[in-house]
Amino acid sequence: MSECVLVAVPVKDEAERIADCLRALTLQADRQPDGVVLLINNTTDGTAAVAWSILPALPAPVEVLEVEFPPETACAGSARRAAMEHAATRLGAEGVLMTTDADGRVPPDWVAANLWHLRQGADAVAGRAVLDPGDAALLPPRLHEDDALECAYAELLDTIAALIDPEPWDPLPRHTEHSGASIAVTRAAYRRAGGMPAMPLAEDRHFFEALRRTGSRIRHAPEIAVVVSGRTVGRAEGGMADTIRRRLAAPDPYLDSALEPAAMRARRVRLRRAFRACYHDDGSQPRLAAELGLPGVAVRTACEARCWAEGWAALEATSPKLKRSPVPAANVRLELEAGRRLLAGLREHVQA
Protein backbone atom coordinates (compact mmCIF):
# COMPACT_ATOMS: atom_id res chain seq x y z
CA MET A 1 0.00 0.00 0.00
CA SER A 2 1.75 3.16 -1.21
CA GLU A 3 -0.53 5.73 0.34
CA CYS A 4 0.45 9.36 0.71
CA VAL A 5 -0.03 10.63 4.28
CA LEU A 6 -0.63 14.29 5.09
CA VAL A 7 -1.21 15.61 8.62
CA ALA A 8 -3.39 18.69 9.14
CA VAL A 9 -2.89 20.74 12.30
CA PRO A 10 -5.01 23.79 13.18
CA VAL A 11 -3.07 26.24 15.37
CA LYS A 12 -4.03 29.24 17.48
CA ASP A 13 -1.73 30.88 20.04
CA GLU A 14 0.54 27.89 20.63
CA ALA A 15 3.98 29.51 20.71
CA GLU A 16 4.97 27.47 23.77
CA ARG A 17 3.93 24.07 22.38
CA ILE A 18 4.05 24.13 18.59
CA ALA A 19 7.74 23.20 18.39
CA ASP A 20 7.20 20.02 20.43
CA CYS A 21 4.13 19.19 18.33
CA LEU A 22 6.04 19.51 15.04
CA ARG A 23 9.07 17.61 16.27
CA ALA A 24 6.89 14.71 17.39
CA LEU A 25 5.05 14.65 14.06
CA THR A 26 8.17 14.73 11.90
CA LEU A 27 10.47 12.49 13.96
CA GLN A 28 8.43 9.33 13.49
CA ALA A 29 10.30 6.07 13.95
CA ASP A 30 8.88 3.82 11.23
CA ARG A 31 6.94 5.98 8.78
CA GLN A 32 7.29 9.69 8.31
CA PRO A 33 4.29 11.67 7.09
CA ASP A 34 4.70 12.90 3.53
CA GLY A 35 3.87 16.38 4.72
CA VAL A 36 2.31 18.49 7.46
CA VAL A 37 -0.15 21.32 6.84
CA LEU A 38 0.08 23.84 9.68
CA LEU A 39 -2.83 26.24 9.57
CA ILE A 40 -2.07 29.16 11.90
CA ASN A 41 -5.23 31.17 12.44
CA ASN A 42 -6.28 34.23 14.43
CA THR A 43 -3.04 34.12 16.38
CA THR A 44 -1.85 36.95 18.60
CA ASP A 45 1.35 35.44 20.00
CA GLY A 46 4.57 34.36 18.31
CA THR A 47 3.39 30.97 17.06
CA ALA A 48 4.20 31.67 13.41
CA ALA A 49 7.72 32.88 14.19
CA VAL A 50 8.43 29.78 16.28
CA ALA A 51 7.11 27.49 13.55
CA TRP A 52 9.11 29.15 10.78
CA SER A 53 12.28 29.10 12.87
CA ILE A 54 12.33 25.32 13.34
CA LEU A 55 11.25 24.24 9.84
CA PRO A 56 14.83 23.83 8.49
CA ALA A 57 15.63 21.29 11.21
CA LEU A 58 12.57 19.10 10.60
CA PRO A 59 12.97 15.92 8.48
CA ALA A 60 9.50 16.11 6.88
CA PRO A 61 8.10 18.98 4.81
CA VAL A 62 5.81 21.39 6.65
CA GLU A 63 3.55 23.82 4.82
CA VAL A 64 2.68 26.85 6.93
CA LEU A 65 -0.53 28.73 6.16
CA GLU A 66 -1.41 31.91 8.02
CA VAL A 67 -5.09 32.90 7.87
CA GLU A 68 -7.49 35.18 9.71
CA PHE A 69 -11.06 33.98 10.04
CA PRO A 70 -13.72 36.67 10.56
CA PRO A 71 -15.25 36.68 14.05
CA GLU A 72 -18.47 35.03 12.89
CA THR A 73 -16.65 31.94 11.56
CA ALA A 74 -13.55 31.81 13.79
CA CYS A 75 -13.68 28.52 15.70
CA ALA A 76 -11.86 25.23 16.10
CA GLY A 77 -14.09 23.50 13.55
CA SER A 78 -13.44 26.11 10.86
CA ALA A 79 -9.70 25.89 11.40
CA ARG A 80 -9.55 22.09 11.38
CA ARG A 81 -11.76 21.90 8.31
CA ALA A 82 -9.63 24.45 6.44
CA ALA A 83 -6.43 22.58 7.31
CA MET A 84 -7.87 19.19 6.31
CA GLU A 85 -9.46 20.49 3.11
CA HIS A 86 -6.16 22.01 2.06
CA ALA A 87 -4.40 18.71 2.71
CA ALA A 88 -7.15 16.69 0.96
CA THR A 89 -6.71 18.63 -2.27
CA ARG A 90 -3.08 17.43 -2.37
CA LEU A 91 -3.92 13.76 -1.92
CA GLY A 92 -4.69 11.17 -4.54
CA ALA A 93 -7.52 8.65 -4.35
CA GLU A 94 -5.48 6.34 -2.07
CA GLY A 95 -4.34 9.13 0.24
CA VAL A 96 -4.69 9.28 4.01
CA LEU A 97 -5.53 12.34 6.08
CA MET A 98 -4.45 12.60 9.70
CA THR A 99 -5.00 15.38 12.19
CA THR A 100 -3.93 16.23 15.72
CA ASP A 101 -3.99 19.22 18.06
CA ALA A 102 -1.29 21.86 18.20
CA ASP A 103 -0.82 21.30 21.94
CA GLY A 104 -0.42 17.56 21.37
CA ARG A 105 2.62 15.29 21.19
CA VAL A 106 2.01 12.20 19.09
CA PRO A 107 3.94 9.00 19.90
CA PRO A 108 6.88 7.95 17.68
CA ASP A 109 4.82 5.24 15.96
CA TRP A 110 1.69 7.37 15.46
CA VAL A 111 1.70 7.37 11.67
CA ALA A 112 2.68 3.70 11.36
CA ALA A 113 0.12 2.55 13.96
CA ASN A 114 -2.73 4.39 12.25
CA LEU A 115 -1.71 3.05 8.85
CA TRP A 116 -1.65 -0.50 10.22
CA HIS A 117 -5.32 -0.29 11.21
CA LEU A 118 -6.28 1.27 7.88
CA ARG A 119 -4.52 -1.57 6.08
CA GLN A 120 -6.53 -4.07 8.14
CA GLY A 121 -9.71 -2.66 6.61
CA ALA A 122 -10.67 0.33 8.74
CA ASP A 123 -11.74 3.52 6.94
CA ALA A 124 -10.93 5.70 9.92
CA VAL A 125 -9.00 5.37 13.17
CA ALA A 126 -9.81 7.14 16.42
CA GLY A 127 -6.96 7.48 18.90
CA ARG A 128 -7.08 8.61 22.52
CA ALA A 129 -6.10 11.92 24.13
CA VAL A 130 -4.27 11.65 27.46
CA LEU A 131 -3.36 14.54 29.72
CA ASP A 132 0.24 15.63 30.07
CA PRO A 133 1.38 14.05 33.38
CA GLY A 134 2.73 17.34 34.67
CA ASP A 135 -0.53 19.14 34.00
CA ALA A 136 -2.58 16.24 35.36
CA ALA A 137 -0.64 16.33 38.65
CA LEU A 138 -1.84 19.90 39.22
CA LEU A 139 -5.51 18.93 39.12
CA PRO A 140 -7.31 17.99 42.35
CA PRO A 141 -7.91 14.29 43.08
CA ARG A 142 -11.68 14.83 42.86
CA LEU A 143 -11.45 15.56 39.13
CA HIS A 144 -9.42 12.42 38.48
CA GLU A 145 -11.82 10.31 40.53
CA ASP A 146 -14.90 11.68 38.76
CA ASP A 147 -13.26 11.18 35.36
CA ALA A 148 -12.23 7.63 36.23
CA LEU A 149 -15.80 6.73 37.18
CA GLU A 150 -17.23 8.23 34.01
CA CYS A 151 -14.61 6.51 31.85
CA ALA A 152 -15.28 3.18 33.58
CA TYR A 153 -18.99 3.56 32.88
CA ALA A 154 -18.39 4.49 29.24
CA GLU A 155 -16.16 1.42 28.82
CA LEU A 156 -18.79 -0.78 30.44
CA LEU A 157 -21.51 0.43 28.06
CA ASP A 158 -19.20 -0.10 25.12
CA THR A 159 -18.40 -3.65 26.21
CA ILE A 160 -22.14 -4.37 26.42
CA ALA A 161 -22.54 -3.01 22.89
CA ALA A 162 -19.63 -5.07 21.58
CA LEU A 163 -21.10 -8.30 22.96
CA ILE A 164 -24.62 -7.68 21.66
CA ASP A 165 -23.73 -6.25 18.25
CA PRO A 166 -20.06 -6.92 17.48
CA GLU A 167 -18.32 -5.12 14.64
CA PRO A 168 -15.46 -7.20 13.19
CA TRP A 169 -13.38 -4.16 12.27
CA ASP A 170 -13.56 -2.75 15.82
CA PRO A 171 -13.09 -5.62 18.29
CA LEU A 172 -12.45 -5.39 22.00
CA PRO A 173 -10.29 -4.02 23.50
CA ARG A 174 -11.20 -0.61 22.16
CA HIS A 175 -12.11 2.82 23.55
CA THR A 176 -14.94 5.32 23.21
CA GLU A 177 -13.17 8.62 22.46
CA HIS A 178 -13.59 10.78 19.36
CA SER A 179 -10.92 13.41 19.81
CA GLY A 180 -9.34 15.74 17.28
CA ALA A 181 -6.03 14.94 18.99
CA SER A 182 -5.80 11.71 16.96
CA ILE A 183 -7.76 11.05 13.78
CA ALA A 184 -6.71 9.14 10.69
CA VAL A 185 -9.07 8.68 7.75
CA THR A 186 -8.83 7.64 4.15
CA ARG A 187 -9.46 10.44 1.68
CA ALA A 188 -12.40 8.49 0.24
CA ALA A 189 -14.11 8.15 3.64
CA TYR A 190 -13.39 11.79 4.44
CA ARG A 191 -15.14 12.89 1.26
CA ARG A 192 -18.11 10.53 1.78
CA ALA A 193 -18.66 12.08 5.21
CA GLY A 194 -18.64 15.59 3.79
CA GLY A 195 -15.35 16.57 5.38
CA MET A 196 -14.68 17.96 8.83
CA PRO A 197 -17.68 20.07 9.92
CA ALA A 198 -16.90 23.74 10.53
CA MET A 199 -18.66 23.75 13.89
CA PRO A 200 -17.79 25.88 16.93
CA LEU A 201 -18.06 22.90 19.29
CA ALA A 202 -17.30 19.17 19.07
CA GLU A 203 -16.37 19.12 15.40
CA ASP A 204 -14.45 15.89 16.02
CA ARG A 205 -17.48 14.07 17.47
CA HIS A 206 -19.74 15.25 14.67
CA PHE A 207 -17.17 14.12 12.11
CA PHE A 208 -17.15 10.59 13.50
CA GLU A 209 -20.95 10.60 13.54
CA ALA A 210 -20.89 11.53 9.85
CA LEU A 211 -18.36 8.78 9.15
CA ARG A 212 -20.58 6.21 10.83
CA ARG A 213 -23.74 7.43 9.04
CA THR A 214 -22.01 7.04 5.69
CA GLY A 215 -20.96 3.47 6.39
CA SER A 216 -17.30 3.94 7.29
CA ARG A 217 -15.63 1.29 9.42
CA ILE A 218 -14.16 3.05 12.45
CA ARG A 219 -11.43 1.47 14.56
CA HIS A 220 -11.09 2.79 18.12
CA ALA A 221 -7.46 1.85 18.68
CA PRO A 222 -6.64 1.79 22.41
CA GLU A 223 -2.86 1.70 21.88
CA ILE A 224 -2.78 5.02 19.97
CA ALA A 225 -2.58 7.83 22.54
CA VAL A 226 -1.58 11.47 22.06
CA VAL A 227 -0.42 13.55 25.02
CA VAL A 228 -2.30 16.87 25.24
CA SER A 229 -2.17 19.75 27.68
CA GLY A 230 -4.33 19.81 30.79
CA ARG A 231 -4.48 23.59 30.95
CA THR A 232 -7.52 25.46 32.18
CA VAL A 233 -7.26 28.33 29.69
CA GLY A 234 -7.70 26.86 26.24
CA ARG A 235 -7.72 28.06 22.65
CA ALA A 236 -11.03 26.54 21.52
CA GLU A 237 -14.24 27.59 23.20
CA GLY A 238 -15.98 24.58 24.72
CA GLY A 239 -12.88 22.40 24.44
CA MET A 240 -11.06 20.30 27.02
CA ALA A 241 -9.72 23.32 28.92
CA ASP A 242 -13.22 24.73 29.36
CA THR A 243 -14.43 21.34 30.59
CA ILE A 244 -11.64 21.11 33.16
CA ARG A 245 -12.24 24.67 34.36
CA ARG A 246 -16.00 24.09 34.64
CA ARG A 247 -15.51 20.89 36.63
CA LEU A 248 -13.02 22.62 38.91
CA ALA A 249 -15.76 25.06 39.86
CA ALA A 250 -18.43 22.38 40.37
CA PRO A 251 -19.05 18.78 39.25
CA ASP A 252 -21.23 18.39 36.17
CA PRO A 253 -24.77 17.34 37.13
CA TYR A 254 -24.91 14.72 34.37
CA LEU A 255 -22.45 12.39 32.68
CA ASP A 256 -21.41 12.94 29.08
CA SER A 257 -24.41 13.21 26.75
CA ALA A 258 -23.27 10.10 24.83
CA LEU A 259 -23.89 7.97 27.92
CA GLU A 260 -27.23 6.56 29.08
CA PRO A 261 -28.60 3.97 31.52
CA ALA A 262 -27.16 0.52 30.91
CA ALA A 263 -30.53 -1.10 30.22
CA MET A 264 -31.27 1.55 27.62
CA ARG A 265 -27.91 0.98 25.93
CA ALA A 266 -28.58 -2.74 25.75
CA ARG A 267 -32.00 -2.14 24.16
CA ARG A 268 -30.54 0.35 21.68
CA VAL A 269 -27.84 -2.03 20.53
CA ARG A 270 -30.21 -5.02 20.30
CA LEU A 271 -32.50 -2.97 18.04
CA ARG A 272 -29.50 -1.84 16.01
CA ARG A 273 -28.51 -5.46 15.50
CA ALA A 274 -32.09 -6.27 14.48
CA PHE A 275 -32.06 -3.47 11.90
CA ARG A 276 -28.80 -4.76 10.44
CA ALA A 277 -30.53 -8.12 9.97
CA CYS A 278 -33.66 -6.70 8.37
CA TYR A 279 -31.90 -4.17 6.12
CA HIS A 280 -32.24 -6.66 3.26
CA ASP A 281 -35.05 -8.77 4.75
CA ASP A 282 -38.56 -7.38 4.30
CA GLY A 283 -40.13 -10.11 6.43
CA SER A 284 -38.76 -8.87 9.75
CA GLN A 285 -39.51 -5.18 9.20
CA PRO A 286 -43.03 -5.08 10.75
CA ARG A 287 -41.85 -6.57 14.04
CA LEU A 288 -38.93 -4.14 14.23
CA ALA A 289 -41.25 -1.21 13.51
CA ALA A 290 -43.43 -2.25 16.45
CA GLU A 291 -40.43 -2.54 18.74
CA LEU A 292 -39.26 0.92 17.69
CA GLY A 293 -42.73 2.41 18.14
CA LEU A 294 -42.71 3.62 14.53
CA PRO A 295 -45.00 3.09 11.55
CA GLY A 296 -43.92 0.37 9.16
CA VAL A 297 -43.19 2.90 6.43
CA ALA A 298 -40.44 4.41 8.58
CA VAL A 299 -38.53 1.13 8.70
CA ARG A 300 -39.16 0.44 5.01
CA THR A 301 -37.78 3.87 4.14
CA ALA A 302 -34.77 3.33 6.38
CA CYS A 303 -34.08 0.05 4.61
CA GLU A 304 -33.86 1.96 1.33
CA ALA A 305 -31.03 4.18 2.58
CA ARG A 306 -27.66 4.07 0.80
CA CYS A 307 -26.19 2.05 3.68
CA TRP A 308 -27.60 0.45 6.80
CA ALA A 309 -25.88 2.98 9.06
CA GLU A 310 -27.64 5.89 7.40
CA GLY A 311 -30.98 4.13 7.77
CA TRP A 312 -30.29 3.31 11.41
CA ALA A 313 -29.37 6.93 12.15
CA ALA A 314 -32.77 8.02 10.82
CA LEU A 315 -34.60 5.47 12.95
CA GLU A 316 -32.56 6.28 16.04
CA ALA A 317 -33.41 9.97 15.67
CA THR A 318 -37.17 9.40 15.40
CA SER A 319 -38.00 6.34 17.52
CA PRO A 320 -39.73 7.23 20.81
CA LYS A 321 -38.29 4.01 22.25
CA LEU A 322 -34.75 5.28 21.67
CA LYS A 323 -35.03 8.73 23.20
CA ARG A 324 -31.88 9.34 25.21
CA SER A 325 -32.05 9.74 28.97
CA PRO A 326 -29.14 11.49 30.70
CA VAL A 327 -27.40 9.81 33.61
CA PRO A 328 -27.14 11.99 36.74
CA ALA A 329 -23.56 12.05 37.97
CA ALA A 330 -24.85 11.20 41.44
CA ASN A 331 -26.17 7.89 40.08
CA VAL A 332 -23.02 6.70 38.32
CA ARG A 333 -22.11 4.07 40.93
CA LEU A 334 -25.64 2.63 40.84
CA GLU A 335 -25.54 2.51 37.05
CA LEU A 336 -22.15 0.86 37.15
CA GLU A 337 -23.54 -1.92 39.33
CA ALA A 338 -26.59 -2.34 37.10
CA GLY A 339 -24.38 -2.45 34.04
CA ARG A 340 -22.04 -5.01 35.56
CA ARG A 341 -24.96 -7.29 36.35
CA LEU A 342 -26.25 -6.92 32.81
CA LEU A 343 -22.78 -7.62 31.40
CA ALA A 344 -22.38 -10.73 33.57
CA GLY A 345 -25.66 -12.07 32.21
CA LEU A 346 -24.56 -11.41 28.65
CA ARG A 347 -21.28 -13.24 29.19
CA GLU A 348 -23.05 -16.21 30.70
CA HIS A 349 -25.34 -16.31 27.66
CA VAL A 350 -22.37 -16.13 25.27
CA GLN A 351 -20.60 -18.96 27.09
CA ALA A 352 -23.70 -21.17 27.28
Which of 125, 97, 178, 134 lies closest to 17, judged by CA?
A: 134
Q: Which sign does the torsion angle of CA 233, 235, 238, 239 carry? A: negative
Q: What is the DSSP string of 319-346?
A: -GGG-----BGGGHHHHHHHHHHHHHHH
pLDDT tens for the chain, 352 residues long, are 468 999 999 999 999 999 999 999 999 999 999 999 999 999 999 999 999 999 999 999 999 999 999 999 999 999 999 999 999 999 988 999 999 999 999 999 999 999 999 999 999 999 999 999 999 999 999 999 999 999 999 999 999 999 999 999 999 999 999 999 999 999 999 999 999 999 999 999 999 999 999 999 999 999 999 999 986 555 556 566 667 767 777 788 999 999 999 999 999 999 999 999 999 777 789 999 999 999 999 999 999 999 999 999 999 999 999 999 999 999 999 999 999 999 999 998 876 5
Q: Is 338 exposed, middle or buried (0-12, 13-18, 19+ CB in 10 A)?
A: middle
Domain limits, the chain: 5-249, 262-324
Please tell me the distance from the alpha carbon of residue 260 to that of residue 269, in angstroms, as a whole number.
Answer: 12
- Which residue type sits at 334? L
- pTM greater than the 0.85 cutoff: yes
Q: Chain-centre distance of CA 102, in angstroms? A: 17
Q: Residue 240 has what pLDDT? A: 63
> Torsion angle, CA of 338/340/345/350, rounded to 10 degrees?
140
Which of 33, 156, 147 lies closest to 96, judged by CA?
A: 33
H/E element, 127: strand 124-131
Which of 176, 235, 245, 248 lies closest to 208, judged by CA?
A: 176
Does the domain spanning 5-249 belong to CATH 3.30.2090.10?
no
> Torsion angle, CA of 169/76/23/8, rounded to 10 degrees?
60
